[in-house]
Chain A
């Protein structure tokens, strides 16, 4: 009788008791059974009480509980955290005071919550973490909710927002609450309002929430469609008649049509002494013959008959095909559809922006690779097939410098001018030894420099081996600038863009504003006249070639930073570089810029149509260039007047 009274008292005063409880153990003792042997349903009561107690020890206990580190001590019937177990003795910790003590191992019973219970515990822990002092834990809790959104999380999340001090986390909490409300809110109005607020967000979880609301299931039925209908399919219109009939077959509302394989199997099953009925097997080597034989089998009642077109038509006519939203509230799905449409517009705008950034960075790489060529080919009219190998030389220079100078920032600072010097010197040497003898014979220059190209490539292979060498970028260049979830660009690409801009400015300055540039332009236009004006064409040719090759070297360092350094890296760029120069217009730095931009934008644009197939993108880009040259044989920026003939 006493025990019953006590039990009734306990039940009546349950919440006040928990609220007033000074220590965790008291609450746990109230629920000994549930803690010791928790079930997924019963554990909720314990957790509610624990949360209501607002004790600092509760999250600690929940963590231990979740990690299966709680033990029941048979000596005093209390729960402890297991710290260490060593043979017969074990170290346990008092959950309230934190005191550790040693007890005999066999007096302890481990509490082993199952997977479902542990998920409940984890969900409860998230509520504590939402108000944790450490911002990192709060973020982790938000991530946990975002991964497994649930209607129950709305309340604790709402509660935690008021006390949130960190503006960024508060914004995230608001956003998450909005997503949760959109999916699990109690009233239609609240959900529609939350859905409409999602319209401003292009993050993937917001889009996922919207598309989850809009999840629909295809159905077939003999009656008129009912439910919250997403779409009605008319066979032959939204879906093909074959597909519609296939759905009927899948729903077992119609017999499956007899396939070629089924005919074959049926015929084989009915072979009797080299004959099917009275048809010799050898004659069954065409589809028409086989169908005829099958038809006769069907007439004999030995196989199911063909499904005639009339039956298919009748079946299609007598059924309706439609998709039904899993969400029953039409107001919610309408709002979600409208919002998703506007979000998708924003997403595609952002994707276009991202694509544009990609295209610009690709264009800068092409520009860097081609600008040296634009000087030697464009300005001097010399075809240098070894240009790609000067790029490679620059990249290997960067690699060698990194082997000597371990600090990546310093090695980069040293490598850039050194690459210029190395590649420039190689260029001058080549000009002196080979190209000088071949001016006016551009086709032979092409072949001779190709000889240099294969020799240099093989030489690099002999020295550095065939495997790719890394050129590591300094820390401040790694990583990427994230503008939002869809738009980002790596710092290296920004650096390459800046570098390309610098070179454009530098070249324009040299060609237009310096004595050297004046002389280069003079020699380009009319070497004889320039010579009679006291300009030494030999010296100018040498200097121009050195400049063009040197820039190729620097481009090599830049390209090596984001791609790998191999002996073939130059060869990969040479055809593109030539096309850049030709498309842009020979003899003009601006033309090269235009050519590089066109090719970069075009390549990324075609790639975006079919991202999995970059080979096709390159193919179509080259085809486009071939056709483009038909219409503007002199390139985008064509020289006019006398200079054009030079």
Chain B
């Protein structure tokens, strides 16, 4: 595989790529500005949380871009990994916090509690809402932060590995794969909706914004800490993916996207490359979820319904596929705009006979603008950068996916 027959560009270290540099620098400046503004009290704690959550979504979008924009797998199930990461960390948060709440009461009793009594008390506190008090097997490691953090990586990773191995091995591609991933996330969501799934059914896990061990710290400090953690995670994730998609690996991935059969005939084990991209992005998405949900405070199965994953694809498409910063910009732009519109921030438009309330009409606008972007600006917001820099990439004109478009230069070019 080292003597690749593809014309490979010589690797530019990601740190020396202009776009990566610019992105990381802007991220750093942004983080510093937000910190200063937050400490001056100009922006509220809840807005810092919103920004922190947005950074996590950006990280998920960047991962989605690698798997879709670079490798050509339109996964409509990546938010399942996001949710699983959130559940994994949420279990520890909830366990540890409940333990902190329950333990003093038990310690005040005439004789100290045994470990099993303590666990029963925590169990009935957590699972009382679904009419149970026993810890299911999946909570086995919930008392250990380290093991649950390992779960954040392992659970999405193993799920992606098994699912991807099955799917790629039997050469399920294109829209079939998309529908299959969608079925996967739907099955997971339906499973978690059950009360006896062991994860509190549709109640989900709550109270995650209270970090055990930091009960005395104000939410403003915690939110800022998580904002920084999210920013660092995004920066590291961006660097990782920039490194992955540059060089030989990136070329093979793009080649798989453009013509899978040809790459296979050239002697590459296409399935392994796809599996690598799928699992790596799933793991990073899981980490993003683990950072997101402590800021959101609550996670429930609705979060991993198929629609969430479709939105992830929408963000990437609007931001611009096939470039990492495009995905991040798309996710930030659309999700912030969305919360501005649905939060009642946008002024209503009075048409005389009818008042357009954006809380009602935002989704209509989003849907239609999404259609418009797909039709008229397939490069998304990232395309604007091309206009500015006049930079074209002649060898990749108009290929936007693993489809026939790649072979038809007339397709996709307006």
Contacts and interface: CB of A to CB of B under 8 A. Distances in A.
B35 interface: no
A444 B116 CA distance: 55
Interface stretch (A174-182, A207-215, A277-285): A277-285
B174 A290 contact: no
B175 interface: yes
Contacts of B112: 281-282, 284-285
A281 B170 contact: no
A444 B176 contact: no
Interface size class of B (residues with CB under 8 A): 35 or more
B78 to A, nearest CB: 14
B114 A290 contact: yes
A267 interface: yes
22 contacts: A268-B111, A285-B113, A285-B115, A434-B371, A440-B404, A440-B405, A441-B401, A442-B175, A443-B74, A443-B175, A446-B175, A447-B370, A448-B374, A451-B368, A452-B371, A454-B367, A458-B362, A575-B179, A575-B306, A579-B183, A619-B191, A622-B183
A168 B314 CA distance: 66
Contact of A458 (B170, B361, B374, B375): B361
Contacts of A462: 360-361, 364
A447 B317 contact: yes
Main secondary structure of the interface of B (DSSP, over half): helix
Contacts of B307: 571
Interface in A568-617: 571, 575, 578-579, 582, 613, 615-616
A585 to B, nearest CB: 12
Interface string A439-471: 011111011101111111111011000000000
Given A458-B361, A629-B170, A575 B194 contact: no
Given A458-B360, A462-B360, A629-B180, A452 B190 contact: no
Interface in B95-135: 110-116
Nearest to A286: B114
Main secondary structure of the interface of A (DSSP, over half): helix
B182 A285 contact: no
A446 B175 CA distance: 8
Contact of B371 (A290, A448, A629): A448
A285 B114 contact: yes
B184 interface: yes
Q: Which of A285, A286, A443, A618 has the most CB of B within 10 A?
A: A443
Interface of A: 264, 267-268, 271, 281-282, 284-287, 290, 383, 385, 434, 437-438, 440-444, 446-448, 450-459, 461-462, 571, 575, 578-579, 582, 613, 615-616, 618-619, 622-623, 625-627, 629-631, 633
A582 B176 contact: yes
Given A286-B114, A575-B182, A626-B166, A455 B191 contact: no
Nearest to A578: B179
B408 interface: yes
A4 to B, nearest CB: 74
Nearest to A289: B114
Nearest to B171: A633
Nearest to A281: B111
Contact of B411 (A441, A452, A630): A441
A481 to B, nearest CB: 32
A444 B367 contact: no
Interface string B226-261: 000000000000000000000000000000000000
Given A444-B400, A447-B314, 15 more contacts: A286-B114, A287-B116, A443-B178, A444-B401, A446-B178, A451-B368, A453-B367, A454-B363, A454-B364, A455-B364, A455-B368, A613-B194, A615-B191, A629-B172, A630-B166
Given A441-B400, A453-B367, A616-B194, A633 B176 contact: yes
A596 to B, nearest CB: 16
Given A271-B110, A438-B374, A455 B187 contact: no
B367 A451 contact: yes
Nearest to B191: A619
Nearest to B109: A268
B266 interface: no
B378 interface: yes
B383 interface: no
B193 interface: yes
B186 interface: yes
Contacts of A437: 375
A287 B400 contact: no
Interface string B158-181: 000001001101111011101110
Nearest to B306: A575
Contact of B367 (A290, A458, A578, A622): A458
Contacts of B183: 575, 579, 622, 625-626
Given A448-B374, A453-B367, A267 B180 contact: no
B378 to A, nearest CB: 7
A631 B113 contact: no
A592 to B, nearest CB: 14
B370 A622 contact: no
A482 to B, nearest CB: 33
A622 to B, nearest CB: 4
A619 to B, nearest CB: 4
